[in-house]
Chain A
């Protein structure tokens, strides 16, 4: 089952904050977040693992609620470069196959 992302689209002014949610009906072992700009490859942002471990390399934070099978991505003090479509990909234990949500389109205006 494909995870459900919300909202589908959001428009912000530079400097504002955004939260993007990802919900699954299946038990999750890991949640992977990517950002994709138009015509480009998805760029890795962060992995959240069952048990609380978090791996990432950008100034973006996220949470993983195992009980609710949900993850949220937090973008604070947004910059113009944050514009793009954000995807969450989920996987079960032992399976690297990622099932992606439909994406959240984020537009940052000056």
Chain B
């Protein structure tokens, strides 16, 4: 199985801050990497697919980069509605695996 490791596991930030979350795969997954946002009591929501493509309807302050084993999700200017938990997920192979999540909290 391909293991996905996110860092940090949590962070505190203020509105307007630039936030970066990293995800590392245990082996090369090309660009088969997606990012999801989850708010309490809700299902995860797709933000970024194939490492760097913005899902329809997602604000442009979200961006993704990387390929191979190292990936990054960036929020350019954190907004109040962005406080949530973020997950990466690989779709290179079965079983699909998720990172453990990064909780973004209000500073």
Instruction: Indicate whether A and B interact.
Output: no
Q: Could you tell me which B residues sit within 8 Å of A by CB distance?
A: none
